[in-house]
A and B are shown apart, each in its own frame.
Chain A
Amino acid sequence: MATPSEAGDLRITNVTKRFGPFVAVDDLSLTVPQGSFFALLGASGCGKTTTLRMVAGLEVPTAGEVRLGERDITRLRPYQRPVNTVFQSYALFPHLDVFENVAFGLRRRKQREIAPQVEQLLALVQLEGFTKRRPAELSGGQQQRVALARALINHPQVLLLDEPLGALDLKLRRQMQIELKRIQTEVGITFVHVTHDQEEAMTMADTVAVMNAGRIEQLGRPAEIYEYPATAFVANFLGQSNLLAGDAEGQSGGDVLVEAYGQRFVVPAVRARAERGPVFLGVRPEKLALVTESDDVPAGHQSVTGVITDSSYVGVSTQYLVRTGWGTELAVFAPNGGSAAPLPVGGEVTAHWSPEHAFLLDREPGEGDRTTPELDTPDAVGAVA
């Protein structure tokens, strides 16, 4: 069934999926280039798993089209698609041993020379010698590797990974992230990875699509998205941002002028997603620096003053909260590199940044400052991840 010779990108075009009145995926379009490591990142209930299941054939889109190369696979049954999945719960067959679990897809396609292929895949996931074990006799990490081998052995055109590391503890997760990346480079198959873990998405994927409420908010390389987020959601889901409500007043010499809380700021026009009307002025916490004397603000930097309300030492940096004159608490991450003594809580400080580190986003009129990370609620409304 798999025709590895037939190259092709995975193309999802205007796909919508409704469950009754609930719209899980809303007119979504995206292209995953062949051979890339693509991550769908979002909180629970954002539609990322539903998208994945439509590619796998486990859900049929209400509208739209899924193509693999030139082939329309929208309505093909799961077993007719050159696509395999590593399930969130692994879904290993409890009545079969590791060998038979991995050989399952080959046997269904009546392939020959099964044993050497299984051995090769088990070597790839470093599980040689486990062939006779039952899934129940394996640790979580080992089960995860079997699930991966069981999918990869079929040489699918696209490998789908549904939160494959979610059940593992932190240390094992980091280790498997590196492993997965290595395997993907080695086999060169397109990986589509669904996750709610932004660090996982950023460290593994070439391209990340941030999803929210059934739509893609932003798609791009991890650094692109982090450095220049497209929406307030992305700015605070992928890492954290200080977003100040302001009003843009148009361009002037390559910069966009912004007025916020009686102060004027500038942002380079190339980093502005809006030039007029209500905007968010955004700066990442690690791009802010604190000085006690406003005279110490470097030339060309912009600043706001405030009072330190909290300081937490987290090893690599010290994280401060600075309350501005209008009451918003800005997050500031100061690296613990220099010999400077930590700043005391209650002290007056000036937070400053270089304009090219700031960015401008669209803002709904009336929306206030947003400085806290988007919560990744495990069981969001709708329960369809």
Chain B
Amino acid sequence: MSILTGVGARPVDAPGTGQAPDRSGRRRRWLPYLLLLPGFAWLVLFFVVPTAQLGATSLYDPSGSVTAGYAMTWEFGNYPDALAYAWPQVLRSFAYAGIATLIGIVIGYPLAYAIAQKAGRWKNLLLVCVVAPMFTSFLVRTLAWKTILSDNGALVGFLRDTGLLSADGRLLATPIAVVLGLTYNFLPFLVLPLYASLERLDTRLLEASGDLYASPARTFVKVTLPLSMPGLVAGTLLFFIPAVGDYINAALLGNTNTAMVGNVVNSAFLSRQQPPQGAALSFLLMALILAIVFTYVRRAGTDEVV
């Protein structure tokens, strides 16, 4: 699972280690670090420093104000306070993101399988179709969903006519709209890694499985699914993690009762003027996601599946 473990810098020994390293050998030993330097500098500047600042903010005295400034009082009480304030939104975030991920798998797995194994010469075109929405802005796409789901739109009209929705039923400003929006916006991140692992799937293994008395359904469970597990794990993580922290879908497609933790963080910083609470919530979210990812990856056993 390359995206999780990362590749550590392992200096390569110069060939002919029996001799004292010559100049080119020494240069070669430093080369990996040299290549890492730009990325490393970038991460320190724009990830480590802001994260440390965020961590500090989460421990500020919450009684300060933006104009008067905040005092560092190692206020660990900010964490339980933030959770007490926003626990419904935290739970909702994980629930919405979880449901959206499940829907994403139901839609994305067959799609990735069809593109990888059955599309033939249409393969590249279909892949472009999967990625194409990302050529426009995330915000614009979500706004478009607002039109699609609007009360006087064709979709709601159709659902009302067929009785799937009551006469005054609506989609916009409901949890359904938020989950649909999340599913739509993050689907490509699920499909692409899945496609990559399904594309490598050796169809001769499927023939061998059929030859060994496995029906097509058993072959899927026993061969196709385990072999595509790395792609599925990577895809669900790339889908789930940003979906949990997302606030645009909830803001544009939901109502006040569908707010997610991202919306609370947003308002803590930008409208309610409570940066320590927002920072504490951010850290809580990070910790929860890490815990979930860790158990998920362990259970999926990806380090065993190559």
Contact = CB atoms under 8 A, between A and B. Distances in A.
Nearest to B204: A91
Contact of A58 (B211, B215, B218, B222): B211
A95 B226 contact: yes
Contact of B208 (A57, A83, A87, A95): A87
A245 to B, nearest CB: 45
Q: How many A residues touch the partner, as a band?
A: 20 to 34
A79 interface: yes
Nearest to A103: B212
A50 interface: no
Contacts, number: 64
Contact of A105 (B212, B215, B223): B212
Contact of B213 (A58, A87, A154): A154
A78 B211 contact: yes
Contacts of B204: 87, 89, 91
Interface in A80-106: 83-85, 87, 89, 91-95, 104-105
Contacts of B222: 104, 108
Contact of A93 (B215, B223, B306): B223
A76 to B, nearest CB: 11
A48 interface: no
A105 B205 contact: no
B210 A77 contact: yes
A342 B205 CA distance: 55
Interface residues of B, number: 20
B117 interface: no
Nearest to B202: A91
B254 to A, nearest CB: 41
Contacts of A78: 207, 210-211
Interface string B61-97: 0000000000000000000000000000000000000
Contacts of A92: 208
A1 interface: yes
B185 interface: no
B19 to A, nearest CB: 34
Contacts of A104: 209, 212, 214, 222
A77 B215 CA distance: 9
A108 B214 contact: yes
B31 interface: no
Contact of B207 (A87, A136, A150): A87
B102 interface: no
Nearest to A100: B222
B305 interface: yes
B132 to A, nearest CB: 33
Interface in B207-240: 207-215, 218, 222-223, 226-227
Interface centre among B211, B214, B306, by most A CB within 10 Å? Answer: B211
Contacts of B209: 93, 104
Contact of A79 (B211, B226, B305, B306): B211
Contacts of A136: 306
Nearest to B207: A58
B202 A105 contact: no
Contacts of B215: 77, 79
A1 B210 CA distance: 13
Given A78-B207, A87-B204, 12 more contacts: A57-B211, A78-B211, A79-B214, A94-B205, A94-B227, A95-B306, A104-B212, A108-B212, A108-B213, A108-B214, A108-B218, A136-B306
Interface of B: 202, 204-205, 207-215, 218, 222-223, 226-227, 304-306
